[in-house]
Structure 1
Amino acid sequence: MLSLQGNIQVFCRIRPSSIKEIQNGANNVVESLSETELGCFDSRTNKWKSFAFDRVWGQDQGQQSIFQDVEPIALSVVDGFNACIFAYGQTGSGKTYTMEGVAENNQRGISYRTIQKVFHLLTLKQQQEKTNSILFKSQEEREEAPANFVYSVEIGMLEIYNDECYDLLGSSGASLEEKRKEAQKAGGKSSLDIRRSKEGRIEVPNLTKEKVDSIDDVFTLLGKGNKNRATASTSLNETSSRSHMVLWVDITSGFEGQDGNKGTLFLVDLAGSERVKKSEVAGDHMKEAGHINKSLSALGNVMEALDRKSSHIPYRDSKLTYLLQDSLGGNSRTMMIVAVTPVDIAYDESIHALLFATRVRRINIGAAQRNVSSKNMEETVKALTDEMKTLTRQKQKTDSQLNILKKDNTRIQDKLSGLNANRKSQASDNKTLEVLRKNNNEMAKRWEKEKNAREEAVEELEKSRKEMGKLQKNVKSLSREQESIQQKLVEKERLLEKRTTELRTAKEASSAANLRARKAQVLGSRARPSSNGTTTTRRTPSKITGSSSIATTSSASATSATSTVATEEIGEIRTQVLTLLEKYDTSKVNRIDIIMEKFKGKEHLLLEKMTQRYESDGGDSAGADESGMTRSELAAKRHADRMRKLRENKT
């Protein structure tokens, strides 16, 4: 159960993001980290700040689960302690919803649920006293016992508006508004006073307090008081509370004819702290905001003085702090609920509220004292004497019950004797246990062997790892050598390619020279015109006779004369073949050098074949003339055409 003595207990609630905030693209920067810790993310510095409290309620916590953590304070009020629960936070952070809630879907707040729990406990205690009187007391004890258990609950509501106190239950809304205006004009003369009674307790004379008999009566009074409360619409909250509201609950319980316990419960919904620039208030609302911030500042000064354990606590700086003096200064169980807005636009206000709550949590107000009212010392002694008599009777009943328990103990001892006899029959079980122990020892030895084997395997693995490391180093060294050899091989291949190109060029030049030599031989053996105008054809025999030396001499001279022309002609043929391949068969373009080497000395024949293969549909008239020739005749004709072209080019 939650302990509420000593330090002020501080709980924190993070409200969910509103629909408007989600539509505006606001980011959540406050998150619950655990049941006692939350974190705030500062997007300007990209850092998190964490805060620890007695309890942190996340966005998914409902009203019922929150009240379960607050419920123990209701128990303490019924037992005669003073208690105070107050909500603190920025405007629109969910303070009023936490304290009061709404009626729809059973979303009542702490105030409603606490008073409902008080009624439940008092009714239950009253029923228990009646039941105990009937079941556990004799006729003589009933006559000597106190009368029936009775209780009384009174409700008062007041607000502190512009640092003045107003009764929310004593007037209608219209007359209360008039009283506020009159109080402002008269300097606060028509507002309620706060005084300290002869007994040293804070009181508010002329405050309307109505007795309630059920939770329905409480709902009615709270509805009336909330209607009279001052609210206004700001840019931060459509129904912003413009005053501090205090729900005052006096609970008296005891037996008829005796002075009983009296507990007082304060349920405080503080007005929200706000920045005038953000809330966009003006006129009277700006004045209200000034008084709100002033009273909250006074509350902060009181908390700071309590934290420092200062000799002077400035309770009188504000009506709010003066009214809550008993709750803040001792003799009360006090709980603070700090409400936080999760979105980034309210980051600075949330940090301010959390820092304030952290400071409050450090304050130690001492242990609360139970309120027991007695007319004089004799009545107190009489009450204690009656209680001692009651305890004596209970002792006698306890002694009789102890005798019964002793008899039961004797009977149980007899049963234990029988069990001891049965224990002897469990010798066989002990033997079985011994066998199991032996098996266990064998398994332990086996496990030890396996452990040693495992350790050896680990050592072997470590050796293998070291050898693997050496191999990896060798592999890296070999890789570097391979790269070096590969680089040298690439250089050799480039050199080989260069030499191959030079060899091919030399072969082409040699081939061209041979071709020119053959052409020179052909030109030397051509028919020469006779004196009668006819042409005599002279063929070179397969075996060269004496005239062949003359032909050879003339051929050599012709070779040197036509070398330049033949080289250019081979270059032109190669260009034409390459053009045909690029146009019709690109896959053979890279093999042009191989093809020219294959047809070395037959370049014209290569060009004819390539032309016939890829452009055979071009010469229809030539094809018609050559259709009746044999293959050898066609070749001779084409050779004659080529030689004619050579002569024309030469001339």
Structure 2
Amino acid sequence: MPLFINRDQIFAHQVHLLEHKLRRKEERILELETENAILHLRLAECLGKLRRDHEVETLNYHQHQRNAQKITRSSLCKLLAEVQAVKQDLSELFAVYFTFSSELEEQSKQLLEKVEQASCSATGHSGDEVHDLQAGVAALERSLEEERERCRAERQRRKELHNALVELRGNIRVHCRVRPLLPFDHVQSSTSGSRPMSSEEVVSAISDDTVMVNCIKTGMPEQSKMFEFERVHGPEDSQEAVFQEVKPLLTSLMDGYNVCIMAYGQTGSGKTHTMMGSQLLEEHSGPQQEAQQGIIPQAAAELFRLILEKPAESLTVEVSVMEVHNNEVLDLLARDAQGNGADQRRDVITTSCGTSQVTSLTHEPVRNAFEVMQIISSVLKLRAHCPTLVHTDSSRSHLIVTLTISSKSPNALALARKLQSAKKDMQRSTKKVWWSPRCSRANPAAHHSSDDHLFASTPSSPCRSPSHSPCPSPRPSISQAPFRTKLQLVDLAGSECVGMSGVSGAALWEVSCINRSLSALSDVLGALAEQRPHVPYRNSKLTHLLQDAIGGDAKLLVMLCVSPTQRFITESLQSLGFGMRARQVQKELPRRKNNILKVK
């Protein structure tokens, strides 16, 4: 059967749907219109608020501008008043200046008139009187020059006699110092009572040049050994008395010889006390404390005193501080405050001249002894220390303080330029004749010729010789050759055995290095004493570093420091034996080495 469809119902249903959608659209339009009206109200409110805020800001801005203008006007008024006051002060100052200038000009004119009158009166004298006066001046100048030549000859003779005296005493001198008993010496022997006490005094200074050692052994008769040295200091000798025996070596230093002073002995024997003293640099404020100064501070003070006696020479002093630790040379002046010295190792080389030199070593220029001790005190805490059974603060390295003295001649070219400049200034100045009893320019007729002859010298010789110059210069000859010398002050590490020090672990390597370096030093002295063709300086960094002080014509002083008690008799005998071997060295005759420097 065919399907019947009612189209009217379909159309009616569609119309119903469309009407429903239309109603929804109209409702949505009403909602949007309502929201639009609300937004318009909000916009009107915001615009009103912005308008009010703008008006308030505008009022505030204008008020701020008015206040700023008032402040600016007030400041300008004050500044204008101050400017007016300054102008008034300047006017008054200018008036005072003008008055002073007028008075000065008037006084200058009067002075020039008086000078002209005096010059006329001087030239008005008879020619015979002027001639006699000039002749007397020339005679006095010749006499002065003769005295200067005689003084130079006497100085040279003094140097020769001093070096001859040092040569007779020996270029290698050995002094011995016996320290007094200290609290840590009072320790009894741990064995039976038949053994002698450890604190018994067995080493003593019986004269100025002899040390006696009483060798006490159980069941054996007492034996005494004598050791002779150039000088022996007992426990009663002061630091000043010790330094007085060292003092002549500093004169040899100024004469052009390298000098080395080293302290040798076991730990606790007084090496550091002898070299540095018992007081720190900052505590040296009184005469009693100054008496405790060791060889290093007293040598620095004496060195600068000798330099002051040579004002005509240009001398410079530089200080360097090194330590030899575990057979490595360390530059203490290059180390940081934490003691990190890994990058401060230095190498010792031998130059073509046969001298030892430390590469990249730090040198600090100094102008007095106080600066020297300041530098040394600042780096002493960086030195290697370790407690042992002998001493609670034992030094485990060799300390080397080097003072380098350099002498340079005056710059002749600069002196010539100064003289040429003085000549131009004189030519630009007034043409009046100035009379001087010491100058040949007193003769007006020879004024110009004398000036021309005075400044007609070459740059290498800016002044005429004293025999021809009417005004000889008090300065010495500028052709004096420069020289360079070194003063090495060495505080060696202790020379005791391992059993005495009681160290263990890593400290054993330190003791081994110390003993090997001191043994190498003994080998070098033995080779020099036997006059072997080869001296083993390079067996140790210590001997290689001190090659200039031990070999050649340098002057070496070994200060043996020994303990007086039975407890340390083995180490004391070893130190005294080392000193006896050092005394056997016969070195070549001294020759002054100028070590000419190339002055650019």
Give TM-score scaled by structure 1 length.
Answer: 0.51
Cα deviations by residue, 1:100-140 (Å, 9 ceiling, x for unpaired): 113252211111111110001111222xxxxxxxxxxxxxx
* Pair 1:97 & 2:282 matched: no
* Pair 1:252 & 2:406 matched: yes
CA contact (8 A) 2:171 2:553 kept: no
Q: Match for residue 480 of structure 1?
A: none
Cα deviations by residue, 1:502-547 (Å, 9 ceiling, x for unpaired): xxxxxxxxxxxxxxxxxxxxxxxxxxxxxxxxxxxxxxxxxxxxxx
Unaligned runs of 5+ in 2: 1-161, 189-196, 284-288, 412-477
Change (3 A) 1:373 1:296: closer
Deviation at 1:200, TM superposition (A): 2.8
Cα deviations by residue, 1:249-287 (Å, 9 ceiling, x for unpaired): 111235423542321111111111111111110112111
Amino acid at match of 1:110: I
CA contact (8 A) 1:63 1:109 kept: yes
Amino acid at match of 1:169: L
The CA distance in 1 between the partners of 2:593 and 2:533, in whole Å, is 26
Change (3 A) 1:291 1:374: closer
- 3-state SS of 1:159 partner: strand
Q: Which among 495, 498, 511 is matched to residue 273 of structure 1?
A: 495
Cα deviations by residue, 1:375-402 (Å, 9 ceiling, x for unpaired): 79xx9xxxxxxxxxxxxxxxxxxxxxxx
CA contact (8 A) 1:261 1:373 kept: yes
Deviation at 1:171, TM superposition (A): 1.6
Amino acid at match of 1:35: D
The CA distance in 1 between the partners of 2:171 and 2:377, in whole Å, is 33
Q: Which among 292, 299, 305 is matched to residue 120 of structure 1?
A: 305
Cα deviations by residue, 1:1-37 (Å, 9 ceiling, x for unpaired): 7943344100000011102324656111011111011
Structural mapping, 1:474-623, within 5 Å: none
Amino acid at match of 2:300: I
Q: Match for residue 208 of structure 1?
A: 362
Deviation at 1:225, TM superposition (A): 2.2
The CA distance in 2 between the partners of 1:333 and 1:269, in whole Å, is 17
Structural mapping, 1:377-388, within 5 Å: none
- 3-state SS of 2:307 partner: helix
The CA distance in 2 between the partners of 1:352 and 1:199, in whole Å, is 35
Deviation at 1:296, TM superposition (A): 0.8
The CA distance in 2 between the partners of 1:214 and 1:307, in whole Å, is 38
The CA distance in 2 between the partners of 1:177 and 1:153, in whole Å, is 25
* Pair 1:88 & 2:245 matched: no
Change (3 A) 1:375 1:34: closer
Change (3 A) 1:150 1:34: same
Amino acid at match of 2:328: E
Structural mapping, 1:145-544, within 5 Å: 148-179=312-343, 191-253=345-407, 255-257=409-411, 259-374=481-596
Structural mapping, 1:32-111, within 5 Å: 32-44=205-217, 45-103=221-279, 105-106=289-290, 107-111=292-296
The CA distance in 1 between the partners of 2:186 and 2:180, in whole Å, is 10
**More helix by proportion, 1 or 2?**
1
CA contact (8 A) 1:90 1:349 kept: yes
- 3-state SS of 1:125 partner: coil
Deviation at 1:234, TM superposition (A): 0.6
CA contact (8 A) 1:82 1:368 kept: no
Deviation at 1:371, TM superposition (A): 2.6
Q: Match for residue 555 of structure 1?
A: none
- 3-state SS of 2:317 partner: strand
CA contact (8 A) 2:483 2:596 kept: no
Change (3 A) 1:331 1:173: farther
- 3-state SS of 1:330 partner: coil
The CA distance in 2 between the partners of 1:313 and 1:330, in whole Å, is 11
The CA distance in 2 between the partners of 1:192 and 1:177, in whole Å, is 10
Q: Match for residue 411 of structure 1?
A: none
Change (3 A) 1:34 1:375: closer
Amino acid at match of 1:304: G
- 3-state SS of 1:252 partner: strand
The CA distance in 1 between the partners of 2:368 and 2:258, in whole Å, is 21
Q: Match for residue 614 of structure 1?
A: none
Q: What CA RMSD, in Å, does the superposition of the two structures yield over aligned residues?
A: 1.9
* Pair 1:10 & 2:178 matched: no
Amino acid at match of 1:27: E
Deviation at 1:178, TM superposition (A): 4.6
The CA distance in 1 between the partners of 2:166 and 2:207, in whole Å, is 21
Cα deviations by residue, 1:421-461 (Å, 9 ceiling, x for unpaired): xxxxxxxxxxxxxxxxxxxxxxxxxxxxxxxxxxxxxxxxx
CA contact (8 A) 1:93 1:341 kept: yes
The CA distance in 2 between the partners of 1:282 and 1:373, in whole Å, is 47
Amino acid at match of 2:537: Y
CA contact (8 A) 1:246 1:268 kept: yes
The CA distance in 2 between the partners of 1:12 and 1:323, in whole Å, is 24
Moved over 6 A (4+): none
Amino acid at match of 2:491: D
Deviation at 1:367, TM superposition (A): 2.7
Paired residues in the alignment total 346
